[in-house]
Structures are given as structure tokens and as C-alpha cells.
Amino acid sequence: MQPSNPATGFNYLLRGFSLIRRKELRSYVIIPLLINMIIFSVMLWLGIGLYEGLMNQYLPDEGLPMWLPDWTWLEILLTPLRWMAWMLFALAFMLIFFYGFTLVANLIAAPFNDRLSAKVEELLTGERPQESESGSLLSTATSSIMQEINKLGWFASRAIPLLLLFFIPGVNLVAPLLWGVFSAYSLAYEYLDYPMCNHGIAFRHQRSFHRKQRLATTGFGGGVMLIMAIPFVNFAAMPIAVCGASAWWAERLKNRYEG
């Protein structure tokens, strides 16, 4: 097995950009795209309102927060720290927002993403995964949602301890960086699950496989985070990631897994 390289995962995410424009995939892309647009818009609207409320309470633009005494020297001391704290809070909020949005969007769109992934593999290799052909859309949806819930349990068991780091003085300075790396790794798990699940590979076996190529996996997930932060492009982030992950699996990872 070749050494793990972050550029490998990132390049396959870029491959997803070209794949979603293929006419053979348009009917499979449209539903995940619409789901992504609706959920992202609603969560962004709710998130901005929550963010503004928290900022006004804890870091107002002028004066001291309501929970601090009205001391002039304290306001002078707080002023140079205000922008640093604001940037830290904004970064943490953005990472948590993107992660929460991804969980909700993928839970709803899971059955459609399964079929999009299978179609990408068929387009690239000429063979469609057998698992994707078994059962109706209803049974596929039930299986896909249960798989998403299983992943959610794994993510939560690691995300909650990381979130607690934000409340530990000193440690909270590096908490956004740790959360970013974890989010990138988790996003790669999320989207690579679709082609691997179509081949009947359980999530626990996927994890042991991905641990052997952490850098490439993190590179892919980091790329997903990047396009999710680009206005308008973020609406297509989910189908792009599904297509990129499916191409990566079909052209490279499948042979490694079987080997």
C-alpha cells in the first residue's frame, strides 16, 4: 500500500466537481442537491440568530457583558482580548454549525446518496454494486437511516469530549484546531460510507480500513469543509462529496480493501 497522502483525498473531492456535471448522473444529483439547499438555508438562518444573541450577551461590541461588574479598568483590560475571543468563538461556531448541518442533511438524504454512489461506480467501472440493487426504495431508506444513526453514535462519543475542551481555560485555545481535524476526518467517514456500504461493508470494518490512511482521509474531509465554506458552492457540497468518495472507492480503495 502506498503512503497516505492528503493530496490524494483532496484530488478525489475535486473529481466530484466534474462528475456531478455528467448527464448520466443528473437525475441522481438533483434530490440531494435540493435537500442540501433547503436544510443549509434553514440552519444558516437559525444559526445566525443564535450566534448574534450569544455575541450580544457575552462579547458585545461596546461596554462590558452583563455578567461582569461595571469597572472601568476591567473594560480597558477586556478590549485587546475582545477581537481574539471573537475570532475564536466565530471559528468554533462555524465548525459546530457545519458539523451539525452535515449530520442532519445526510440523515435525510442517505437513501438518495446511496443510489447516487452506486450510479457513479457503475458509470466508472461498468458494474453496479449488488447491495444497491436489493430491496425497494423504502427498505433502502430504512437501512440507510439506521446506518446514519449508527454513525451518529460513533461521532457523538467523540464529539462530546472534544466540545468540553472549549470550556477548559488554556486548552480552549487549541480546541477549534482539534475540532477541525476531527470534523475533517468524520466527514470523510461520512461520505466514504456510501460506496462501502453499497458493498455490504459494515461501519466498524470501514473504520479499521481508514485508520491505515488517515492523512488521505483527512485531506478528503478537509476539502469537504472548504467547499462547505464557499457561498453557493456549499449547496452542492453533499453530491460533490458523494461522487468524489465513490470515484475514490471505485478506482483505488476497493482494490486495497480486497487486498
Q: Are 218 and 185 in contact (CB under 8 A)?
A: yes
**How many residues are listed for the chain in this entry?**
259
Q: List the single range of 1-15, 64-78, 172-186 with lowest mean pLDDT.
A: 64-78
**Residue position matching grid coordinates 475570532:** 87
Q: What is residue 66's predicted lDDT score, i.e. its pLDDT?
A: 55
Per DSSP, the three-state class of 19 is helix
- Alpha carbon distance 81, 146 (integer Å): 45
Residue 22's pLDDT band (boundaries 50, 70, 90)? very high
Retrieve residue 4's grid coordinates.
Answer: 497516505
**Is the pLDDT reported for residue 24 higher than 80?**
yes
Per DSSP, the three-state class of 154 is helix
Average pLDDT over residues 39-46: 80
- Alpha carbon distance 105, 35 (integer Å): 7
Give 163-168's long-range contacts (Cβ < 8 A, gap of 24+).
163/96, 166/92
Q: What is residue 250's predicted lDDT score, i.e. its pLDDT?
A: 93
Average pLDDT over residues 213-226: 90
Task: Give the amino acid at 142.
Answer: T
Average pLDDT over residues 38-50: 78
**Most confidently modeled of 101-105, 176-180, 250-254?**
250-254
| Predicted structure pTM score | 0.76
Q: List the single range of 53-57, 118-122, 161-165, 175-179 with lowest mean pLDDT.
A: 53-57
- Alpha carbon distance 10, 218 (integer Å): 9
Q: Are 235 and 34 in contact (CB under 8 A)?
A: no
Q: What are the start-end ranges of the E strands in the chain?
A: none
Q: What is residue 19's predicted lDDT score, i.e. its pLDDT?
A: 94
114-156 tens-digit pLDDT? 889 999 999 999 988 876 555 555 556 666 667 777 777 888 8
Retrieve residue 128's grid coordinates.
Answer: 453496479
**Is the pLDDT reported for residue 192 higher than 90?**
yes
Task: Give the amino acid at 249.
Answer: W
- Alpha carbon distance 227, 144 (integer Å): 25
